[in-house]
Chain A
Amino acid sequence: MLIPFFYMLREGGMKTSITELLTLLEAMKNGLAGQSVDDFYYLARASLVKNEAHLDRFDRIFGAYFKGVEDSLADLMQDIPDDWLRHQAELMLSEEERQQIEALGGFDELMKALQERLDEQDERHEGGNRWIGTAGTSPFGAYGYNPEGVRMGQQGSRNRSAVKVWDKRDYRNLDDSIELGTRNIKVALRRLRKFAREGAADQLDLDDTIDKTARNAGLLDIRMVPERHNAVKVLLCLDIGGSMDDHVRICEEMFSAARSEFKHLEYFYFHNFIYESLWKDNRRRHSEKTPTMDIAHKYGSDYKLIFVGDATMSPYEIVYAGGSVEHWNEEPGAVWIKRLLNTYPKAVWLNPEPKARWDYTPSTKLVREIMDDRMYPLTIAGLDDAIKALH
């Protein structure tokens, strides 16, 4: 039982596992779901959904799958005050509108069409959290027909009111189908971390010595460790504005993951390409700039340099003096990036644009050449490769 539902959930893109299905069945065996559809819905939700972002999707699938069950229940109960509902709706409609409804095939047809429209709308329209938009193109909106108003009439019947619970879809604005969460990025970044302590064991590890000596019941056990490179040091340069606006989300994720992962993280912003100065605060980027040379002098060459940018610009911006779109640069950007690369031999460029598109942009090719081909797509796999290159 419930196996078709389970597969429907999986087809709907939910990562429901067998364990979770078994948990639900076990809970039902223990009589938790009781006799009511509401209870079953709550129970199924608590055991099958583990992320609030998926609640809306679950509600939709649940609604679609159990609609048949609901309808047959409704037939059995026979206490749905259909006439009353109709009455209620008619009360809200003017004479003219009622005629329009008749033209559409009567109230029942309207309801059916409405449901279809809603289903359709669910697929395409992601923005609002109301069933029917206010766009004015929908005939239902024009009627001033209010689903809330009709549903008020249904509260008298228990099994119908159950439909409400999942059809309300309170959670819709939480749904997002982003493929890479910060967790994945963090896990990828962790690879960089474990190389923080490497080399010959030439230092006394006091804590471990005490620990091992104590475990040895007092006999001294000296432990040595390699010199401690406190943690990996990362210098992150992020392209901001312009064509990067499309990639803000992934860059934010990357940035927040990096921020919580590295203790020694310094970050600077640039627009399109590196010139004589970078900045830390985008709101004050014209007043508070940091000269690029200062950065190269301040942060030692054990920092790993990561550029994040789409490298999409006019080639002039890279190779000519005065090529910058924002200001007059005395020296071309290529000179500045080479200075940075000389200071920081461990450097990569992460590009949020898909790799397949790189060859179509001359500037991307140019940047790749400057970076000695150390350009990687900003995906989990690309990040993995980039981190390998940083070692």
Chain B
Amino acid sequence: MADNRFTGTSSYIATDDLMMAVNAAVTLERPILVKGEPGTGKTQLAIEVARSLGRPLHEWHIKSTTKAQQGLYEYDAVARLRDSQLGDDRVHDIGNYIVRGKVWEAFESEQQPVLLIDEIDKADIEFPNDLLRELDRMEFYVYETKKLIKARHRPIIVITSNNEKELPDAFLRRCFFHYIKFPDKATMAEIVDVHYPDLKKDLLREALDAFYKVRDVRGLKKKPSTSELLDWIKLLLAEDIPPEVLRGGDSRKAIPPLYGALLKNEQDVHLFEQLVFLDRRTNPQ
């Protein structure tokens, strides 16, 4: 039990509630569904869980065209047709044309694996329903070969969603759920520290202040997230921007440098510039 506990890693800060949700999912061998703003480390979570528990990781990235069946297996009928025309002997064994999917790979793993089902909301609306039995019983049936594939070890399944589609209730009931909320300043300082350990204290403080100020601007279409903050700090370091420049007290410099890394939407940039302009007019230096 002791070695089965996820407590965050040297490069990933997990809050108490996140740890609890992950540990519950690991112990009860149920899937965990992770939601949250884009860029809060949902996908990263699976990678870090696998790393910290020393488990192999299988990643299944979902696209709008992905079918549930593709995660289990696919029957390559065209290859079989070609082989039959060429008189290949392989054609007699249908098993030669069954291509394994990510879920099958995870089921076959020697050691209990971590299976990441990334961005499940991208797929068709019925996709999660098609995986109910597979996630519940951790087994599926291959009709072509009439074989039942059972998981050797129930994988730790991490599912991420960006909330583009609502997920069906039957599916949700089988999962643990965690909503990664946006980190507060203290947690954020820890996160930045993990990524840039040599960052000067004053630069970090000023950067975080500026960052949260930008996040607090009302009406932004896309608020900057953790990953954008990390990118921005990387840029600040690369450009060697001194912390004084970031200080918001001087309203003429209220637009943080390199803000292109934080605001990704031209309307947001526009709005932000307008606000700064207004601010400058009301508080002339």
Chain B: interface size category = 20 to 34
- A sample of 16 cross-chain residue pairs with beta-carbon separation below 8 angstroms, ordered by A number, consists of A30-B27, A32-B27, A45-B17, A45-B21, A46-B17, A46-B176, A47-B177, A50-B172, A50-B173, A50-B177, A183-B125, A186-B125, A214-B78, A215-B77, A217-B91, A218-B91
**Complex A-B, nearest 5 residue pairs according to Cβ-Cβ distance, in ascending order:** A214-B77, A42-B20, A46-B21, A214-B81, A50-B172
Q: A49: CB under 8 A from chain B?
A: yes
The total of chain A residues at the interface (CB under 8 A) is 36
Q: Which residue of B lies closest to A46 (CB)?
A: B21
Please, what's the 1-or-0 string for B10-47, where 1 marks a CB less than 8 Å from any CB in chain A? 00000011001101110110101101000000000000
State whether the Cβ of A211 lies closer than 8 Å to any Cβ in chain B.
yes
Asked if A39 is an interface residue, CB under 8 A from chain B, the answer is: yes
Chain A residues in 8 Å Cβ range of B125: 183, 186-187, 190
Interface residue from B33, B81, B166 paired with A183 (Cβ < 8 Å): B166
Compute the total of residue contacts between A and B using a CB distance below 8 Å: 87
Q: Are A218 and B84 in contact (CB under 8 A)?
A: yes
Interface string of A16-55 (1 = CB under 8 A from B): 0101100100110010100000110011011101111001
Contact of B20 with A32 in the complex, beta carbons under 8 Å = yes
B interface residues, Cβ below 8 angstroms from A: 16-17, 20-21, 23-25, 27-28, 30, 32-33, 35, 77-78, 80-81, 84-85, 91, 125, 165-166, 168-169, 172-179, 181
A15 contacts B169, C-beta separation under 8 Å: yes
Closest to A187 in B: B125
Contact B174 A19 (CB under 8 A): yes
Q: Is A282 part of the contact surface with B, judged by Cβ < 8 Å?
A: no
Tell me the minimal C-beta distance from A148 to chain B in angstroms: 13
A-chain residues with CB within 8 Å of residue B35 when the two chains form the complex: 52
Chain B residues within an 8 Å CB radius of A218: 81, 84-85, 91
Given the complex of chains A and B, what is the CA–CA distance between A19 and B175 in angstroms?
10
Residues of B within 8 A of A187 (CB): 125
Q: Contacts A181-B166, A218-B81 hold; do A17 and B173 have CB atoms under 8 A apart?
A: yes
A243 contacts the other chain (CB 8 A): no
Chain B residues lying within 8 Å of A52, measured Cβ to Cβ, are 35, 179
Q: Closest approach, in angstroms, between the C-beta of B132 and any C-beta of chain A?
A: 12
A194-217 vs B, CB cutoff 8 Å, 1 = contact: the mask equals: 000000000000000011011101
Contacts of A39 in B (CB 8 A): 16, 20
Contact B28 A26 (CB under 8 A): yes
Q: Does A170 contact B (CB under 8 A)?
A: yes
Tell me the nearest residue of chain A to B32, going by C-beta.
A46
Whether A5 is near chain B, meaning CB under 8 Å from some CB there, is no
Minimal beta-carbon separation of A49 from chain B (angstroms): 6
Task: Flag if B84 contacts A30 (CB, 8 Å).
Answer: no
Name the residue on B nearest A50 (C-beta). Answer: B172
Contacts of A210 in B (CB 8 A): 77-78, 81
Which residue on chain A has the smallest CB distance to residue B97?
A214
Q: Give Cα A372–Cα B87 distance, bound, in whole angstroms.
A: 65
Which of A23, A50, A183, A213 is in CB contact (< 8 Å) with B28? Answer: A23
Pair A32/B173 contact, Cβ less than 8 Å = no
